[in-house]
Amino acid sequence: MRHAKSSWRDGDLADHERTLNARGARAAPWMGKWLQERGIAPDQLVTSTAVRAVETAKAVALELGYSGSLLLAPGLYLAAVRNHIEVISSLEADPASVLIVGHNPGISETASALSGIELDMPTAALAWIELDIDHFSELQKTTRGRLVQFQRPPQEEKGSKSSKKGNS
């Protein structure tokens, strides 16, 4: 999953510290509810340490009723495919399913690499990929899975205050 839409309001704020904007604060729980309604619940939730990613992960977890721990992975901040693979394959627990919250372009590239389908992940989008491996420790950059579902939050009306330029 890519983090939800973040705010650019404070130009002095470091990129890592940017928070969700109003649109992102609506989209993240919407995606959590979408997962919950389908009975999709990860065994492990892993997120970049960037504030916008953590806020996204927490909103999704709340809607899901997720009671597990939220694993903060500094290696997911602006990560390349190899970094995503390293983080996922080195999870200490042996979860059956994992939800990763990250950033573009790496999250789109990772979803594309693992699914074998070119995916462009807009903010708050989720790619559900089934992998034919028994343990995440077996995950490699060459592993190919099957894209089960690609979901994004509903689009807001063009021209609405939250979709104007500057709110990315």
Cα dihedral across residues 143, 96, 50, 150: positive or negative: positive
- CATH (residue range 22-154): 3.40.50.1240
- pLDDT at residue number 38: 93
From residue 157, give the alpha-carbon distance in Å to each of 31, 79, 90, 162: 18, 31, 41, 9
Buried-state track 94-119, b at ≥16 Cβ within 10 A, e below 16: ebeebbbbbbeebbbbbbbbbbeeeb
The neighbour count for residue 54, using CB atoms within 10 Å, is 18
Along the 168 residues of the chain, how does pLDDT read in single tens digits? 999 999 988 888 899 999 999 999 999 999 999 999 999 999 999 999 999 999 999 999 999 999 999 999 999 999 999 999 999 999 988 899 999 999 999 999 999 999 999 999 999 999 999 999 999 999 999 999 999 999 999 986 444 444 333 333
